[in-house]
Structure formats: structure tokens, C-alpha cells
A and B are shown apart, each in its own frame.
Chain A
Amino acid sequence: MEALDSLGIDWKLFIAQVVNFLILLFILSKLLYKPLLKLFDERSKKIEQGLKDAEISSKNLEQAEKEAERIRQNAYKEANELLANSKKEAEEQTKAIIADAHKEAEKIITRSSEEVINMKNNLVKETRAQISDLLTLSLDKITSKKLDVKTRDKLTKEAIMELDK
């Protein structure tokens, strides 16, 4: 015991220090370790979650890019098709319009030539009628109405017939 005394060991102090340390251990556990360890867990969970999210979003981005590329290709194809179609259609339309115009022109030409013929015929008819009237009148005047109507008409007709030759 002499040796312990000279080293300064005192049971009362020893026990006091043990108690002090245990109190400190208790307080720090409650105040420091528990909340911090919980925080570490939360943080690592959050980081994991964040990494997972990042992976998912990068995957999504890739997919979206692929989708966009696909849509773009489709649109390009469609546009090309549309362009080709409209070109074809326009050509067809042009052809149709031209054909119509040709037809119309032909029609107009036919009609006008018919009209001309008609007009000529009418003219001829009219002229003939007038000539026949004139002939009738002349005959009447020349013969002083001595010719009977029958003969007069016959003569006129003959004259007209002669004219047609």
C-alpha cells in the first residue's frame, strides 16, 4: 500500500474518475455519437439514393435521346415522303390541268367551227330564201303576174337548184 500511496493512487479518486468517465460516456453517447451516426447513415443512404437517381436519369436521358433520334428519322422520312407525294400530285395536277385545257380548247375550236358552219349554212339558207323571193318577185314583175303560181314556184325552185350546183 505504501507503493500505491507514493504513486498517488487513492481509491476515492479512482472511483470518482470512473464515475466521471461513465457520466461523460453517457452524455456524449446521447449528445454526439447517436445523432452523428444516425446522420452518417442517413447521408450514405441519401448518397446511394442520389447515385441511383443519377443512374436512372442518365438511362432515361439516353432513352430520350434514342427516342428523339427515332422521331427525327421518322419525321425526316415522312417529310421526304410528303414532298415526293406532293411533287407527284402536283405533276399529276399539272398534267390534268393541261389535258383539261387541251380538251377545252378543242371543244371551243369544235364549237366555233360548228358555229361558223351553221352561220354559213344559215347564211346560205337565208340567201337562198332571199334569192327565191327576189326571183319570185322578178318573175312576177317580168311576167306581169301572168304566170300561175304553180309554174312560178317551180321555176324559182329550179333556179335555186341550179344555184346549188
Chain B
Amino acid sequence: MHISLAAEKIAQIGPLPITNSMVMTWIAGIVLIVVAFFATRKKSIVPRGVQNVVEMVIEFLFNTANEVIGDKKQTKKYFPLLATIFLFVLINNWLGLLPGVGTIGFNEIHHGEEVFVPILRSGNADLNMTFALAAITIISVQIFGIIAIGFFKYSGKFITFKNPINTFVGFLELISEISRMISFAFRLFGNIFAGEVLLTVIAMILPYIAPLPFFGLELFVGAIQALVFTMLALVFIKMAITDHAEEH
């Protein structure tokens, strides 16, 4: 059994290596676009079929976001990012549980020994993906904050010289933004990667029946991680767009 922390390279286009995780994220993206297309193809005021399911999800997300942000107009600004994070992470996590992901592949000679390279691997079991999501989220939060309360007010959160305590707190805030990004990336990666490893190990020990509860668990973890990522992003946005000076 060989478990690789990094996503395996399966092809190369010019300078860009194509990894199995990346292929998975493409598939997830295509699935989302196709579903979105079918859900909105024939919009009717009374929802039916796919439209109904998709609407339920979108409405749930929108209401959750709206509860935290508290203003519909504001929520609409941040909603696309939040919804895309949720849907993308969720679909990636669930697609990673499909049979064949991680098991269909080929053998490759790597550093003199033969290793198994799966063609597909859960998208979020690759730190590049989770870091990309984390970076987008944190950078977006900064941008939203600057747009909402102005550059100077926003940067005042991090750099102030009014009194030494505030200066120090601002410095801590700056560090915390970075640590948020790292924790975002590693939380998602850790959970999904651990799930993959767990399923692989269980399937090796007892191939029949035994993995089923773990699949259920991983379905749950996949949904929870998507929700956690989205909710944290939501809370960070809310914190960034709130003018603290005004509150006191």
C-alpha cells in the first residue's frame, strides 16, 4: 500500500503538470455547471424537479448568509463566492467517494520503485486546491473589507499607532489573517485526505460491508467540511465589513 501526501502527476501540458486531483476539480466544476444549466434552463415561478432541489440548496445558503450579514443587498454581493465555495467543496468531497476514485490507475516507475498512480483523486485531498481556496477566501475578505469600510479604516485594523496596545493587537490581527488561511487549507485537506486514507485502510482490512459505515461517515464529513469552510468565510467577511470603530 502506498499513500502519497501529494497529488500524483498523471500528465503534463507544457509547463503545467496535470494531477489526478486537478482532473477531479475539473469534473466537479463541469458537474456544477451542467446541474446549474439544467436547473435554470426552464425557470418557472413554481419550481419542479432539478430546479426545486437546486433552489432549496441555494435558498438555504442564501438564508444562512443573510442571517449572519443581516442585509439582503449586502448578502447578494458576497453570496456568489460563498455559494461557489460551498458547492465546489461539497461536490469535490462527494465525488471523491465515488467508486473508482483512487482505485483505478496505472503503475509507474518512480525513483526506481513501482508505485500505483490513481487517475482520479479527491480534489480537496490536494493542498494546492485547498490553499487556492483559502487564499481566494482570505484575499476576498480583505477586498470586501476595504470596499465596505474604506481602505484606511480597514488597514487601521492592522496598523495603528494610537497606542502601543492597539499596535500590538493590530500586529496580532495581521498574523491571524495568515493563520486563518493556513488553517483553512489544512483543515479541509486534512479531513478529506484522512477520509481517503481511512477508507483505503478499511477496504484493505475488510473489503466487504465494513467500509459502508465509513462511507456514510465520509459523506457526512464532506458536507460538514464544506459547511465549515463556508461558514468561516462568511464570519470572516462579516467581521471584515463591520466597522469596529463605529460599534464602540
Q: Is the CB–CB distance between A32 and B36 below 8 Å? A: yes
Min distance, Cβ A17 to any Cβ of chain B, angstroms: 4
B15 CB contacts on chain A under 8 angstroms: 12
Min distance, Cβ B7 to any Cβ of chain A, angstroms: 6
Q: Is A42 an interface residue (CB 8 A)?
A: yes
Q: Is A37 an interface residue (CB 8 A)?
A: yes
Given A8-B126, A13-B19, A18-B135, A24:B88 Cβ within 8 A:
yes
Complex Cα spacing A32 to B4, Å: 36
Min distance, Cβ A28 to any Cβ of chain B, angstroms: 5
Q: Is the CB–CB distance between B136 and A18 below 8 Å? A: yes
Q: Is the CB–CB distance between B87 and A36 below 8 Å? A: no
Complex Cα spacing A32 to B136, Å: 20
Residues of chain A in range 71-92 having any CB-CB distance to chain B below 8 Å = none
Give the size of the chain B interface in residues (CB under 8 angstroms).
42
Q: Is B26 an interface residue (CB 8 A)?
A: yes
Minimal Cβ-Cβ distance residue in B for A34: B80
Q: Is the CB–CB distance between A7 and B6 below 8 Å? A: yes
Minimal Cβ-Cβ distance residue in B for A39: B43
Minimal Cβ-Cβ distance residue in B for A12: B16
In this complex, the member of A9, A17, A28 whose beta carbon has the largest number of chain B beta carbons within 10 angstroms is A17
B88 CB contacts on chain A under 8 angstroms: 21, 24
Complex Cα spacing A18 to B133, Å: 7
Q: Is A22 an interface residue (CB 8 A)?
A: yes
Query: What DSSP secondary structure best describes chain B's contact surface?
Result: helix
Q: Is the CB–CB distance between A10 and B132 below 8 Å? A: no
Q: Is the CB–CB distance between B128 and A28 below 8 Å? A: no
Q: Is B54 an interface residue (CB 8 A)?
A: yes
Q: Is A151 an interface residue (CB 8 A)?
A: no
B225 CB contacts on chain A under 8 angstroms: none
Q: Is the CB–CB distance between A9 and B81 below 8 Å? A: no
Q: Is the CB–CB distance between A17 and B25 below 8 Å? A: yes
B62 CB contacts on chain A under 8 angstroms: 37, 40
Q: Is the CB–CB distance between A25 and B84 below 8 Å? A: yes
Q: Is the CB–CB distance between A25 and B133 below 8 Å? A: no
Q: Is the CB–CB distance between B33 and A14 below 8 Å? A: no
| In the complex, per-residue mask of B8-27: 1 if CB is within 8 Å of any chain A CB, else 0 | 00000001110100100110
A111 CB contacts on chain B under 8 angstroms: none
A13 CB contacts on chain B under 8 angstroms: 7, 16-17, 19, 22, 126, 128
Q: Is the CB–CB distance between A24 and B33 below 8 Å? A: yes
Complex Cα spacing A24 to B86, Å: 12
Complex Cα spacing A37 to B45, Å: 12
Q: Is A142 an interface residue (CB 8 A)?
A: no
Q: Is A46 an interface residue (CB 8 A)?
A: yes
Residues of chain A in range 1-47 having any CB-CB distance to chain B below 8 Å = 6-10, 12-18, 20-25, 27-29, 31-33, 35-37, 39-40, 42-43, 46
Given A6-B6, A7-B5, A31-B33, A18:B132 Cβ within 8 A:
yes
A37 CB contacts on chain B under 8 angstroms: 58, 62, 76, 79
Enumerate the 5 nearest inter-chain pairs by beta-carbon distance, A residue then B residue, closest first: A8-B6, A17-B132, A32-B36, A13-B128, A29-B80
Chain B interfacial positions (CB closer than 8 Å to A) = 4-7, 15-17, 19, 22, 25-26, 29, 32-33, 36-37, 39-40, 43, 45, 54-55, 58-59, 62, 76, 79-81, 83-84, 87-88, 126-129, 131-133, 135-136
Name 22 interchain pairs, CB-CB below 8 A, sorted by A.
Answer: A7-B5, A8-B5, A8-B126, A9-B128, A10-B17, A13-B7, A13-B16, A13-B19, A14-B128, A14-B131, A17-B25, A17-B128, A20-B22, A21-B84, A28-B36, A28-B87, A29-B84, A32-B54, A33-B58, A35-B43, A37-B79, A40-B59
